Amino acid sequence: MPQELSITSTTTTTTTTTVTNTKKLTLIPLIFLIYFEVAGGPYGEEPAVQAAGPLLTIIGFLVFPFIWSVPEALVTAELSTAYPGNGGFVIWAERAFGPFWGSLMGTWKFLSSVINIAAFPVLCIDYMKQIIPAIESGLPRYLALLCSTLGLSFLNYTGLTIVGYTSVALAVVSLLPFIFMCLIALPKIKPHRWLSLEHKGVKKDWNLFFNTLFWNLNFWDNVSTFAGEVDKPQKTLPRALFITVIFTCLAYVFPLLAVIGALSVEPSEWGAGFMAQAAELIAGKWLKIFLEVGAMLAAIGPFEAQLSSCAFQLLGMADIGSLPQFFGQRSKWFNTPWVGILLSTSISLGVSYLNFNDIISSANFLYSLSMLLEFASFVWLRRKFPRLKRPYRVPMRLPLLVVMCLIPCGFLVVIMAIATKKVCLVSGIMTVAGIGWYYLMKLCKSRKWFQFSTGGEVVVEENDHERVAGHL
């Protein structure tokens, strides 16, 4: 009978990953953690209108979730419940194609996420300077960036439960101005404005349009890296993903419909931050200030969610032996992966002081590569272990699953095809570095320079009704 490796870590002999009296994530905080992994509010959707006009943007935010978000969420739900441990997509790639691909997946995902994290303290400072002009540039800006990054990282250090409930509060405060704006805009809405294709002779920027959709509806799989911290993950994860997909899409579409319908504005004026101007035009300066404060707070949520994902990814990789045990150490006070938090914070802090537009584009390129590998792992695991117990199973046979995955994969290929040569070069260098890292870790294992965990080495026999675990 075919066999499969489980990520269950109860047999490990190390003490670094032992969990005692851990508070598990429940449904509500998990929903908002996923929400901030993906979105953080409708603050970043304006460039899509500028790039392609009102109608295509509305269609994009209505249709793109079915092309991208739903397939990624379904893959995450099935594989996270089949392998409910920390590490997520790294474990999936390793189980599907072996340790080399698991390690490379870890490199691609970690680099793309940790560089992306650096953008959020910068965004937070950019909104704060509206209130405190002194931090706009120079030494005060650098100090503000340092203090905000360290402060937000310490909040992450206190534990996922605190971060989860903080995310609930941040979501409420950041979405409240949009709720007010939608309600006040209702009497002013003229539906014919939603159908406008007018672009006044300006050529549509498809690159900006698709990248805006991609950036705003991405990273659904990040929740898998801390699946081991979720209470009853087999039930809670699929439910949380389902609710968050609907919630996120509505949070994007309703403000878009309200502003487009209530204001007669040229698409060229829809630059980044236009929602704040729209709030002032619809309701007055008070709502603009409220929305800017909400935007500043909304920048905190994605930082916390994605930093948690990066830290628990490293912990999960240490649990399965892809990284030395040192990376799996947890805090004695909060039971959080302090090494992962420290390393992720240090890298993101260093990147935040650079002009990193090309680096972030390269990170998106790496993320696209990792998603191609993730979809391939999903299909191959279904074929390789068809009878592996999956508490949540996507209700499709293999041919339909292939079709479901090919659609977003086609989009990923398009995104990579339009990348600049510089982005391809930087991404290639990072990928080669990731390959080198795998062989370095392999050398460290053979020479016993570092101690590696064997806690994940548990056999799971496939059975239609249960999984039977035991030592190799």
- pLDDT tens digit sequence for 379-430: 999 999 999 999 999 999 999 999 999 999 998 998 888 777 888 888 899 8
Residue 194 near residue 257, CB atoms below 8 Å: yes
Q: How confident is the model at residue 356 (pLDDT cuts 50, 70, 90)?
A: low
For residues 402 and 458, the model is more confident at: 402
Residue with tokens 């909060």: 334
Encode pLDDT of 43-74 as tens digits. 878 888 888 889 999 999 999 999 899 999 99
Which whole number is the average pLDDT over 440-459?
Answer: 78
Cα pseudo-dihedral 391, 31, 5, 452, rounded to 10:
-160
Q: Which fold has domain 21-442?
A: Amino acid/polyamine transporter I (1.20.1740)
Asked whether residue 162 carries a pLDDT value surpassing 50, the answer given is: yes
Residue 137 has pLDDT above 90, yes or no: no
Q: What is the pLDDT of residues 364-381, one digit of tens each?
A: 788 999 999 999 999 999
Average pLDDT rounded to a whole number, residues 90-108? 94
Q: Where are the domains of the chain?
A: 21-442
Position with higher pLDDT, 4 vs 237: 237
Instruction: Report in angstroms the alpha-carbon separations of 117 from 57, 69, 296, 433, 465.
Output: 26, 20, 15, 20, 41
User: Residue holding tokens 């236009």?
Assistant: 274
